[in-house]
Amino acid sequence: MTRHYALFFDGACEPRNPGGIASYGFQLAVNGKELLSNKGVVGEGHGMTNNVAEYHALIQGLNCVKQRAEKGDTVAVIGDSQLVIRQMTGAYKVRSQSIIPLFARAKKLRNQLRGKGVRVRFKWVPRDENAVADALSHAAFEEYCIEKGYLFSACECGGTLIPRKNTKTGHKFFGCSRFPECRRTAPFPDKS
Ligand SMILES: [Zn+2]
C-alpha cells in the first residue's frame, strides 16, 4: 500500500540570529497521522543561524523518512523557510559557506529517496501552518535554557522568564516558562 508521508520541519536561532542558540524540531506523519516527532539543539554561539537550524531539522527529518519510505511512497517536505524550500527546489542558489555542506547532505538524502522510487516534493507554508514543528523547536530551546541555567530573569511564580516569539507576528518578548499556567510577560530588551 502506498504511504503518504508529511515531514514538517522548523529551526530557530534565539534570542539572537546569528549567534544565538540554534534549535530544531520536526514531525513526521504518515497518511495524516503522527508517526514521530523530534527536537533538539544544534549548538550555541558562533556559526549558529536560523538557516543552520532549519537545515538540521530538514536533514534529521529526511533521515527518518529514509529509514521508512519504500518504493511508491510519497513524501511532502513542508517548512516555513522560503530560503530552504527554494534552495531545495533549485529556485535559489546556495551561497553561504555554512550552508553548503548542510545543503549537500539534504540533497543527498533527497536523491537517495528518489533513487528508491519515493516521490519527494517540497512545499512552503506560512508559519502558522507549521505550528507543531515550530513549537517543538521552541520547546527544545526552552529546555536547553533551563538545563543550562540561563536564568534570563525569575518570574514571580517561581518560573523563568525566557525569550519567546509570537508565532504569528514574530514579535519577541519574555514569557514565563510555566506558560500557560503563568501568563506573565515582559518586554524584550534587544531591539536590534
Ligand atoms: Zn510565571
Distance of CA 83 from the midpoint of ligand 1 (Å): 36
Phi (first) and psi of residue 37, to 5 degrees: -145, 160
Whether pLDDT at 57 is above 50:
yes
Residue-wise pLDDT tens digits, 145-188:
878 877 677 788 887 787 787 878 878 888 887 888 999 988 87
> What does the block give as the cell for 59?
536533514
Class of domain 151-192: mainly beta
The answer to whether 52 and 102 are in contact (CB under 8 A) is yes
Residue-wise pLDDT tens digits, 101-123:
999 999 999 999 999 999 999 99
pTM above 0.75, yes or no: yes
Distance of CA 161 from the midpoint of ligand 1 (Å): 7
Distance of CA 137 from the midpoint of ligand 1 (Å): 21
Mean pLDDT of the chain: 91
d(CA 16, CA 190): 9
The answer to whether 92 and 83 are in contact (CB under 8 A) is yes
Distance of CA 154 from the midpoint of ligand 1 (Å): 8
Domain map of the chain by residue range?
Answer: 4-133, 151-192
Domain 4-133 sits in CATH at 3.30.420.10
pLDDT at 192: 42
